[in-house]
Amino acid sequence: MRTSTCLLLFSGAVVAKRLIIDTDMLNFDDDPLALGLANILQNWGEVELIGVMSSIHSRYAPPAFDAINTYFKHPDVPTAVQKPVNNLTQWPEYPEYGDYLTGLTYNFTEDVRDGTSTPDPVSSYRYLLSTSADSSITIAVIGFFDNMYHLMQSGPDTISPYTGAELLKSKVRELVVQANDVGFSYNTDAHNATFAEVVLNWWPGKLTFASDDVGENTVIGSRITTELDVTKNPIGYALRANIGYNQTHYVWDAVALYYAVCGLDDVFDWKYKTGGRVRLNGSAYATWETNSTGPSLQNSIEFKVPNTTFAARLENTLLWEPGQDIPRERTWCKN
């Protein structure tokens, strides 16, 4: 396993934020954009992507991850998928969104080939967390909570003498989730509500929600689907295959990923002045308990700039390709 990437800033060495992405990437447009954004921001020196986990079972998910990572010059990022794998490439209930997983697998450079050759996500999580410094990992859950739940339930093994819950508590600095802090959410209730209920009700550390309010108000795609060479750029390919030429769509997960790397930056603010705590019932319906005694570790983000301003920045960032100049003089997203 690779060691942390060190970034030289001024006269001192600063370790980049270390990130694990847990995604349900299948045939929604926002997952490949989120993964592409993480890779771009790694090339810009803002983060180190150390793992990508699939919370679904498609054999095509890991090679698709690897195709995106490889294009952005990060071919060695570990990937993992739930077992046993299946051949799913689209959600049956959303046939209007095109398949891009098989195209990423067969038309772009990658060497995973098939998800069966990747480890189990729990084992991968346990290794990555156990070999990391305390409070050094950010996890962005932009999909279902299967992997987090099973990791929580895992016990000591040959990888680590600690339980999964102990590893999460000691190694994770922040959990970022694409879900609503109030009400139902696709990522929490569409699959297995118990998994999200258990994980989020237990979570002992910093927890930040990127809700549908920010995701559904960030609409991009027209430039990505028309300006990028879809035969070479996997982000351009995935988005055009998914929504079509010169089309736009919501990008929930890409918003969550931007926050996971860049923090509030100059575009977000806290929704709750002193934070609070989320509570999910058995159906994963979320209610928010406001903290009146002082700042707490849980909160949700909201825009402090026009949503169109952020959307323009996000799409412009996603147009960046390897070999282009890094915008080092930018005033935003500089950790």
* 3-state SS track over 275-330: CEEEEECCCCCEEEEECCCCCCCEEEEEECCCHHHHHHHHHHHHCCCCCCCCCCCC
Label residue 5 by pLDDT band (50, 70, 90). Answer: very low
Summarize pLDDT for 209-252 with one digit per residue, the tens. Answer: 999 999 999 999 999 999 999 999 999 999 999 999 999 999 99
User: Where in 207-259 does DSSP place strands (E)?
Assistant: 207-209, 219-220, 249-250
Residue 7 has pLDDT above 50, yes or no: no
Instruction: Return the pLDDT at 92.
Output: 93
Summarize pLDDT for 145-194 with one digit per residue, the tens. Answer: 999 999 999 999 999 999 999 999 999 999 999 999 999 999 999 989 99
Q: Which residue has the tokens 């990028």?
A: 228
Label residue 195 by pLDDT band (50, 70, 90). Answer: very high
How far apart (Å, rounded) are the C-alpha atoms in residues 165 and 170?
Answer: 9
The arithmetic mean of pLDDT across residues 17-43, rounded, is 97
Give DSSP secondary structure letters for 115-165: GGGSPPHHHHHHHHHHTS-TT-EEEEEES-SHHHHHHHH----SS-SS-HH
Provide the 3-class DSSP secondary structure of residue 180. Answer: coil
* Residues 21 and 34: beta-carbon distance below 8 Å: yes
How far apart (Å, rounded) are the C-alpha atoms in residues 245 and 222?
Answer: 7
Summarize pLDDT for 281-325 with one digit per residue, the tens. Answer: 999 999 999 987 778 999 999 999 999 999 999 999 999 999 999
- For 105, counting Cβ atoms within 10 Å of its Cβ (0-12 exposed, 13-18 middle, 19+ buried), the class is buried
Percent of the chain beyond pLDDT 70? 96
Beta carbons within 10 angstroms of residue 278's beta carbon:
21
